[in-house]
Structure 1
Amino acid sequence: MASEVLAELVAAMRAGGVDFSDIQKGRADLEALLAGMPADEGLAYERGELAGVPVLRINSGPSGAGAMLYLHGGAYIAGSTQGYRGLIAEIGKALGLPAVAPDYRLAPEAPFPAAVEDAVAVYQALLDEGIPASRIVIAGDSAGGGLTLATLVKLRAEGMPLPAAGFMISPWADLTCSVATMESKAAEDPSLDRAGLLGGAAAYLAGQDPAHPLASPVNADLAGLPPLLVQVGSAEILLGDSMLIAERAGHAGTHVQLEVWPDMIHVWHSFHFMLPEGRQALDAAGTFLRARLGA
């Protein structure tokens, strides 16, 4: 049974959300919303650059332990490591890894496949720093969850060493937005709607095929990928994306663990500071992923 806090969160979301009909205003409104999320002030947040991509480094795990490469959400058109730093830090702490989060290029200024290119470049830079692939986890939420899967597919295609695991929170991995839960879960989801996602997809794709396997990685060959953990709420229109990932990864012989959390909303982990299920999901992810990190 969901906590009482969840009802309060849902009511607040239904009272007003971010409108991306004006992308610049939507970006500013999202950043203002995310600014209210707490971040562990006991950690260091350092700005830098890897492979020409701006990154945020967080000492969320011991130096030399490896790295979590985190890809933030925002429908490929918004979001930043500044806004998501609190969530990134908590996931890094759960994994016991320092976090490296790129501010990958956003659409419409930099359409597909810019985000994939930036993620791959930063991953290569981590390898160049001497971090073993077996000590890296790639993780992301929402669009960043889909980007996590697309990045793994691209790394495999390029013959690069693959990370220890991939972790996806409420991933958006089908930019055609054609899964049945886009309609069947519409009344339950207080934060996303199909029309808004299609708008983000149009800006990101800039006329390219939405079914392309690096844009919609549910359409990719998922064989040979590292173990995957997918966490999604049952009250999300993106539930179907997660189910498709699990089905197609499992069919391809890839280790995949799908967790559907009853009554949970999109990226409920963000509310770990007030929502018990958010903290529980982070702890569960940490247990799964730590077990897969190589020595």
Structure 2
Amino acid sequence: MPSPTHQLLAWGVPKLRKSRELDTEEAERARVERWHAGLDRTLPTRIVPFFARRYDVTTETLTGPAGDFPSHVVTPRGITPERTVVWVHGGGFMAPIDPFHVRYVARLARALRARIVLPDYPLAPEHTWRDSHDALVDLAARWCADGPVVLGGDSAGGGLAMAIALALRDRGGPQPERMLLLSPWIDLTTSAPDTAAFAERDPWLFLGKLHAYASWWAGRDEDLGRPEVSPGLAPLDGLPPALMFCGTRDLLAPGVRMLADRALSSTWELTYVEAPDLIHVYPLLPLVPEARRAWKQTLEFLR
């Protein structure tokens, strides 16, 4: 049974985020575009204690077809990095880096004696996968050539991380050592059985928004099944060893299960941890016993 802390956050987080189903796709697009117009895209560090004293941040500029976008490098002070974590943030492809992303990767940086690379990729609906994919793959390839890399992401970012891993595999050259996927969105075609049933159990994610955001990110319907967009449908042989977490009160769980099943008939070494009755990206939640267990498993896998 989930812990009381998890149950409180499962009730409270969707309310704090004002999560609800969309009225129409047109209204949702207009809402998101208004929100984007006033977004502060600086790195949100406010919930990381003493961040400015404990971490150095540098920012480089990446270039895609639609223009430039930043990638932040977070390095703990007093540590010579032994590896790099390239972390691709979630948010349905339409939300920016969140303070909880920064909190999580800052903890990873300390625990693994690592620098963290956080690309702040262009968001849908104004942008599609085509505006950042090649630049993200080039970024990861450069860091892989520099030393050991962990490639990871949460939710939509988990899908992007997997798409990057597929492209690196197909290019050849240095590869990530490990992958870490938290509730990854890896099938934007929503082809996995039972997705509608899981939507009724999820207090945070909504099926109408899932379809809308997938359409925006793909840009056109014929791109929905491409490996750059739905990497969970691509051949899996040759990917780096991976650890993947998902709860069963998560609308993305059917796609994640489908990926785990497909991995069994491939050469991909995937460890899948499914947590009964836990919500989307539960390893990112603060003060939750289940997240602490996931953290311990993560460090054992990555170390």
TM-score, scaled to structure 2: 0.84
Structure 2 Cα separation of the partners of residues 188 and 36 of structure 1:
32
Answer yes or no: is the 8 Å Cα contact 1:174–1:241 preserved in 2.
Answer: yes
Q: Which amino acid aligns with 1:183?
A: A
Separation in 2, partners of 1:260, 1:96: 28
Shift in Å at residue 96 of structure 1? 3.6
Identity of aligned residues (%): 28
The range that moved more, 164-173 or 246-255, is: 246-255
Rounded to whole Å, the distance in 2 between the matches of 1:13 and 1:89 is 21
- Give 1 or 2: higher strand fraction: 2
Among 173, 182, 197, the residue aligned to 2:195? 182
Which deviates the most, 69-78 or 238-247?
A: 238-247
Q: Residues 26 and 173 from structure 1, CA distance in 2 versus in 1: closer, same or farther, beyond 3 angstroms?
A: farther
Q: Which moved more, 1:66-75 or 1:236-245?
A: 236-245
Q: Which residue of 1 aligns with 2:236?
A: 222
Report the Cα offset of residue 102 of structure 1: 0.6
Question: In the alignment, is the contact (CA less than 8 A) between 1:18 and 1:26 conserved in 2?
Answer: no
Name the aligned partner's letter for residue 165 of structure 2.
L
Is 1:38 matched with 2:47? yes
Give the whole-Å Cα distance in 2 for the aligned partners of 1:267 and 1:28: 27
RMSD: 2.7
- CA–CA distance in structure 1, aligned partners of residues 113 and 244 of structure 2: 19
Show CA shifts across 1:19-71 (max 9, x none): 67111355589989x96972242531514105444122222593230100000
In structure 2, relative to structure 1, the CA distance for the partners of 1:92 and 1:86 (3 Å cut) is same
Give the counterpart letter for 1:141 in structure 2: D
Shift in CA distance, 7/27, structure 1 to aligned 2, threshold 3 Å: farther
Q: Which residue matches 1:105?
A: 122
Aligned-partner residue type, residue 232 of structure 2: V
Q: Which residue of 2 aligns with 1:166?
A: 179
Residue in structure 2 matched with residue 293 of structure 1 by the alignment: none
**Contact conserved, 2:61 with 2:71, CA < 8 A, in 1?**
yes
Deviation at 1:139, TM superposition (A): 0.5
How far 1:238 moved relative to its partner?
Answer: 0.7
Matched, 1:125 2:142: yes
The one-letter code matched in structure 2 to 1:144 is G
- 1:139-197 deviation digits (Å, cap 9, x = unpaired): 00000001111111001111131110111000000001232242222232111011111
- Tell me how far 1:107 sits from its aligned partner: 2.1
Change (3 A) 1:123 1:35: closer
Which position in structure 2 is the counterpart of 1:151? Answer: 164
Structure-2 change in CA distance of 1:94 and 1:18 (3 Å) = farther
1:56 matched to 2:69? The reply is no
Question: Residue 59 of structure 1: SS of its match in structure 2?
Answer: strand
Aligned residue in 2 for 1:212: 226
Which piece of structure 1 moves more, 79-88 or 62-71?
A: 79-88
Q: Counterpart of 2:210 in 1: which secondary structure?
A: helix
1:228/1:127 Cα in 2 relative to 1: closer, same or farther (>3 Å)? closer
2:48 maps to a residue whose letter is: A
Structure 1 residue ranges without an equivalent (≥5): 291-295
Distance 1:26 1:232 in 2: 29
Q: Distance in 2 between matches of 1:248 and 1:2?
A: 28
**Alignment partner of 1:247: what SS?**
helix
Counterpart among 208, 225, 249 of residue 235 in structure 1: 249
Letter in 2 for 1:138: L
